[in-house]
Structure 1
Amino acid sequence: MDKRDDQSVKLVGFWISPFVHRVRWALKLKGIQYEYIEEDIFNKTPLLSQLNPLYGKVPVLVHDGKPLCDSSIILEYIDQIWKPNPLLSDDPYERAQAHLWARFVDEKVLESGWLAVRSEGERQERAMKEAIENLEKVEEKLKGKRFFGGDRIGHVDLIMGFVSYMLPVWEEVAGVKILDPSKFPALAAWSSNFLNHEAIKSEYLPPRAESVAYFQWRREESLRPSLVSSGDGKN
């Protein structure tokens, strides 16, 4: 066992943040014990500013007293420190491809889906169209695979995880349909495989009713003339 395994690990997060959940899943896959600290991003304590002075956002992983921010960077750090159940390939090209797809998911898939939730009219229609086009690219990547990396959950699966449980909530709140199982059979199968994986289904996921209520509130706030940004944006 790595001598660093028994050092303290803490995770500062927000209950519904998809960026926090991908880190929680990674820690679960690796079998790492950690202390979870809930942070109200709408009423932040000084702790978050101390740990993440650059952005003041969650998640923040604190390992042996040293804080680290940005979920994608945290996932790679976890994979480098704790070797069992690797999230990324040792092959440099495959690692680069995983990072490329992870960036695409965050910058395209997540952003377009989130925009569809907090918009209406023509703007929402454009966001839906873009979200569907983005998912078409993901569908092609997933064809013939159980997970993005093959038979085991990896880095891209964790980045993409929000699609399995959060996108349906967004669809309900916004009154749209983005992930049609008949159009995206590979994604639908992946979503089922992901949610039924032992490390995912045994880890905390936000209750559906509470998630719907939260995003209904966020949608209403977003559609107002002015909106004050919170700390749960991209991280």
Structure 2
Amino acid sequence: MCEPVKVIGTRFSAFSHRAEVALRLKGVPYELIAEDLDNKSELLLRSNPVHGGKVPVLLHGDRTAVCESLVIVEYVDEAFDGPPILPSDPAGRAAARFWAGFLGVNHCWRLLWLALWAADGDARAGFREEARARLALLEAQLEGKRFFAGDGIGYVDVAASGLAYWLGAMEEVAGVSIMDAADFPALCRWAKEYTSSDVVKGCLPDWDELVAGYAASTDKFKLVAQHAAIYQ
């Protein structure tokens, strides 16, 4: 009998989405344990004590909990049968991991966050241009390809999924345009293709609920941006 698979997370988190979509790409049934991040459960705190109960966490049978979204994606790719998420050759895997790292919280997403929520208008404009320069590098990676992985969704597409859906909701709330179709046609086309996939649609949050949640959290977002700017 197959061991049960559970994801502790929230449908509103782009990082939880990475874990869910990896499982769906592999065709693995799983249970989403919805977490209230303002009132974290004992299960979450016990399962991810190192990072203060951050989501997602993958629980696979009686094995040790797997934390960190991209670590989970790689675990899912190795632990379950199904279409590969990472490229099969070492060079391809190295390149995929490089671009996933480029998209990480301390690189591309830090600039995007500051471009959206930094308090100082001039600084915010500067961060926007820096973020757009990073997006231009990603735009070039899509030349002649449907997805970053080629014809199907792969590791970099999963890593970049926050750009495909969550960024647009943040732009709407912040009143800031960063990834526009005029300057980033390939990225915007990719975002539509990604979010239109039947595999992906099943683990996307409702758009209106996502926007409303972000609108209610703008003060928190601005505080995070203030701290991020200090260490920029």
Deviation at 1:170, TM superposition (A): 1.1
The match for 2:48 among 43, 47, 52 is 52
Stretch moving more, 208-217 or 99-108? 208-217
Q: Equivalents in 1 of 2:78, 2:223: separation in Å?
A: 44
Q: Equivalents in 2 of 1:218, 1:210: separation in Å?
A: 12
TM-score (norm 2): 0.90
Deviation at 1:52, TM superposition (A): 0.6
Structure 2: any 5+ residue segments left out of the alignment?
228-232
Query: Structure 1, residues 47-102: CA drift from partner, whole Å, max 9, x if none?
Result: 11110110121000001122100001000000001131100112111101100000
Q: Is the 8 A contact 2:11 2:203 kept in 1?
A: no
Structure 1 stretches of 4+ with a deviation exceeding 6 A read 225-228
Indicate the structure whose relative CO is greater, using CA pairs within 8 Å and at least 6 residues apart. 1
In structure 2, the residue matched to 1:213 is: 212
Deviation at 1:46, TM superposition (A): 1.3
Q: Return the letter of the residue paired with 1:151.
A: D
Q: Equivalents in 2 of 1:221, 1:195: separation in Å?
A: 27
Number of residue-to-residue matches in the alignment: 223
The residue correspondences of 1:1-235 to structure 2 (distance < 5 A) are 6-55=2-51, 56-66=53-63, 67-106=65-104, 107-120=106-119, 121-201=121-201, 203-223=202-222
TM-score (norm 1): 0.89
Q: Equivalents in 1 of 2:179, 2:95: separation in Å?
A: 24
Query: Structure 1, residues 100-159: CA drift from partner, whole Å, max 9, x if none?
Result: 000101133222222233223123212211211110000011111001111110011011
Structure 1: any 5+ residue segments left out of the alignment?
229-235
Q: Equivalents in 1 of 2:93, 2:225: separation in Å?
A: 41
Q: Equivalents in 1 of 2:183, 2:101: separation in Å?
A: 23
Deviation at 1:227, TM superposition (A): 8.8
